[in-house]
Amino acid sequence: MRPLLALLALVASLPAAEPAFIPLPAKVELRDGRFRLDASTAIAAPKALANEADYIATRLRRAAGLPLPVGASGSIRLEVDAALPAEGYVLEIAPAGVRIRGGSPAGVFYGAVTFLQCLPAEAFGTLPAPKADWSAQALRVEDAPTCSWRGLHLDSSRHFQPKAFILKFLDAMAAQKLNRFHWHIVDSEGWRLEIKKYPKLVQVSEAFPARYPEEVPTNPSLKPKYRYGHLHGGGYYTQADVREIVAHAARLHITIVPEIDFPGHSMAAMIAYPEISTTGKPPTVVSNITTDLIGVHPTALKFLRDVLDEVMDLFPGQWIHFGGDEAPKQQWKADPYTQRKIDELGLRKVSKDHPEDALQGWLFNEMAAHIGKRGRVAMGWEEIMHGDNLGLLRKDVAIMPWLSAANAVRSANAGHGVVHTTVSPFYLDSRQVDDPREPAALYGGPHTLEALHRFNLFPQGLTPEGRRNILGAQGQLWSELMPRTDDVEYQAFPRACAIAELTWTAPELRADTAGFIDRLSRHGERLNALGLNHRRVPPPAGLGWSPAFLASGKPWVSALPGAAAERVRPGSTLRVGFRYTMGEHGLGIEGVELLSDGKPLASDTHVGFTGTYPNNPDYRLAIPAGAKLGRLELRIRANGAGGGDSHGVVEITVE
């Protein structure tokens, strides 16, 4: 068989024909030609897809300055195809038009996001860019997500974010195909949700500052520190605000999961209404993890049911989160009424060593049954399954293990839906990289992009049923040291992009983390367009190959990556290593040359192979002493060994 020359190129400079998709689709087939938007372009969509058509039209009208009418005919066609997975889609772009088919309106929406990613980054922005090249490479994409739960959590209690920011944050989530917004709107330091029946909940913190100087993570004059147990003012969300936010999320196919914490993390609620506390008095311990707990007496139970009723009226999604974490039981242990309740319920027989934990499980089940009457499902942090509670919880309760990955396996195998939320790597209130210039972070770190991208959603020990119970994963944004919206954005992005790819893209397609970093470096233009204060990700310094390159048949010459080019000196040795990452077949290498201003300077021409069995060949190019160095490029002759479906990276070092 005639060797196929592999076009290897700087990962940072992939052909414009291959968009930097985030998350990576299941299958992309590039085709000839381009589709161009112009004044005659229209969108054809049935009434059932009016929202998805509007999503495309609104963005492109603003960015491209085109009319883009929506009607019964047009060169951009949207369709529902019930044969596809509900969130799956097929996107076909040809010079004559665009066709997006989805298994449901959600699937069509995700196809629309992919289509917009084929256009200039300004498609996601708020400013007009009529001079951009409003065209898209012809291609066919078949795609569907790995996980149903692709989420971000945001703490709006410790530091309040205005409604406009929440809407912007949801837009940014949708651009990454994230679909669950876990909204932490109540906690000890502030209750942010208007409850008509209990108006003092949002009033109790009004007189306090929105933030304290030492909470700013970039303040050079003070060591950043959060004031746990201190009430924070700054605002709350009216029920009208919430309805607007929920409606906006629904248009983006994002489900909002509100969190109403009990029995712990409830200091603000117990200050507002002391009668709901275990003692009937305001909290005595001013702290984040206070020993003051909401009680289990009739007044407290009525309060919780009343609050949950208003919450369910506002949030139509399937899930309501009950918190349940960090609730020390000393007060319950000392309270006579609570102890009688434990005896009345027979919980000492159920859990001899942990009857108070069993009581929390009972309380959780009581409220889960209450919302279950309206078809809703309760969620909680992993403490709800601690002690002997795993066997006591209602089977429809979903669990978020944040302390122990092993508890994710236990919970899933026991029949509960599980969302991965472990501190490492999912707590985004941590440093992103090990750099002293990074903002101060509550949870240290670093919890990196790479760790998120490589996380194993399906660890060893899962039964087949347990694997099915893994719903997905989400990143947590606890706002203790995020007093400003810019702080939230910086901690969230681009790590949210890694969570998007982790939960959307099949594990076998996520093997190439270097490729992800490359795509992410280019995806940063879209994050800019979205107006996000995100951490910039530089392109990787190495080279890489993919089936698209192997199929090109073109000779390969590519600039030496900048990090290596800066270190090359006369008399040094350039080491070029080939590392296969995925595919049915490997890569055969015939030789490597270093060129200076287009002329051969050093070479190594032995035959090598890298593939499914460990064999990662190195090529050593000795640069002559006294050599004059100009524009440095690599030329590599390689072929798809037995097929053209492999992926890999070329690692370059200077010795």
Nearest residue to 426 via CA among 395, 403, 396? 403
Examine the pLDDT at 370 and tell me if it is beyond 50.
yes
In the chain, which segments carry CATH 3.20.20.80? 149-504
In the chain, which segments carry CATH 2.60.120? 543-654
At a CB cut-off of 8 Å and minimum separation 6, what does 221 contact? none
Examine the pLDDT at 427 and tell me if it is beyond 90.
yes
Q: Which residue has the higher pLDDT, 66 or 8?
A: 66
pLDDT, tens digit, for every residue of 83-117? 999 999 999 999 999 999 999 999 999 999 999 99
HEC string of 436-455?
Answer: CCCCCCCCCCCCCHHHHHCC
Three-state SS for 169?
Answer: helix
pLDDT number for residue 285: 65
Integer angstrom CA distances of residue 429 from 178, 349, 426, 482, 537: 19, 41, 9, 8, 18
- Residues 247-272, mean pLDDT to the nearest whole number: 97
The DSSP result for 265-320, as a single string, is: S-HHHHHH-GGGBSSSS--SS-SSS-S--B--SHHHHHHHHHHHHHHHHH--SSEE
pLDDT, tens digit, for every residue of 162-179? 999 999 999 999 999 999
> What is the chain's alpha carbon radius of gyration, rounded to the nearest angstrom?
28
Q: Hunting for tokens 């195909």 — which residue is that?
A: 177
Burial of 73 (0-12, 13-18, 19+ CB in 10 A): exposed
Cα–chain center distance at 441: 19
pLDDT number for residue 639: 78
CB 226 within 8 A of CB 481: yes
Query: Degrees (nearest 5) of the Cα angle 551, 555, 557?
Result: 115
Going by the DSSP 8-state scheme, the letter that residue 457 receives in this structure is S
pLDDT number for residue 6: 35
Measured distance CA(524)–CA(531) in Å, rounded: 11
Give every strand in the sheet of 573-582, ordered side by side. 9-10, 543-545, 647-654, 573-582, 618-622
pLDDT number for residue 586: 81
At a CB cut-off of 8 Å and minimum separation 6, what does 334 contact? none
> Torsion over CA of 236, 240, 246 and 251, rounded to 10 degrees?
-130
Examine the pLDDT at 565 and tell me if it is beyond 80.
no
For residue 395, count other CB atoms closer than 10 A to its CB: 8
Nearest residue to 35 via CA among 101, 141, 133, 148? 133
Examine the pLDDT at 555 and tell me if it is beyond 70.
no
Examine the pLDDT at 598 and tell me if it is beyond 80.
yes
Examine the pLDDT at 61 and tell me if it is beyond 50.
yes
At a CB cut-off of 8 Å and minimum separation 6, what does 291 contact? 285, 328, 330, 331
CATH number for the region 27-143 comes to 3.30.379.10
Examine the pLDDT at 625 and tell me if it is beyond 80.
yes
Examine the pLDDT at 355 and tell me if it is beyond 90.
yes
pLDDT, tens digit, for every residue of 130-143? 999 999 999 999 99
Measured distance CA(496)–CA(486) in Å, rounded: 15
Q: Average pLDDT of the chain?
A: 91
Query: Can the peptide bond before residue 19 be classed as cis, meaning omega within 30 degrees of 0?
Result: no
Q: Which fold has domain 149-504?
A: TIM Barrel (3.20.20)
Examine the pLDDT at 524 and tell me if it is beyond 60.
yes
Examine the pLDDT at 157 and tell me if it is beyond 60.
yes
pLDDT number for residue 8: 40
pLDDT number for residue 4: 31
pLDDT number for residue 646: 77
- Residues 215-230, mean pLDDT to the nearest whole number: 89
Provide the pLDDT confidence category of residue 189 given band limits of 50, 70 and 90. Answer: very high
Provide the pLDDT confidence category of residue 583 given band limits of 50, 70 and 90. Answer: confident
- Residues 40-49, mean pLDDT to the nearest whole number: 98
Q: Hunting for tokens 């302390």 — which residue is that?
A: 403
Going by the DSSP 8-state scheme, the letter that residue 575 receives in this structure is E
CATH 1.10.10 is the classification of domain 543-654:
no
- Residues 396-406, mean pLDDT to the nearest whole number: 96
pLDDT number for residue 554: 58
Of 42-56, 323-337, 476-490, 574-588, the range with the lowest mean pLDDT is 574-588
In the chain, which segments carry CATH 3.30.379.10? 27-143
State percent of the chain over pLDDT 90: 75
0.75 exceeded by pTM: yes
Q: Which residue has the higher pLDDT, 548 or 296?
A: 296
pLDDT number for residue 550: 62
Nearest residue to 543 via CA among 566, 527, 561? 561
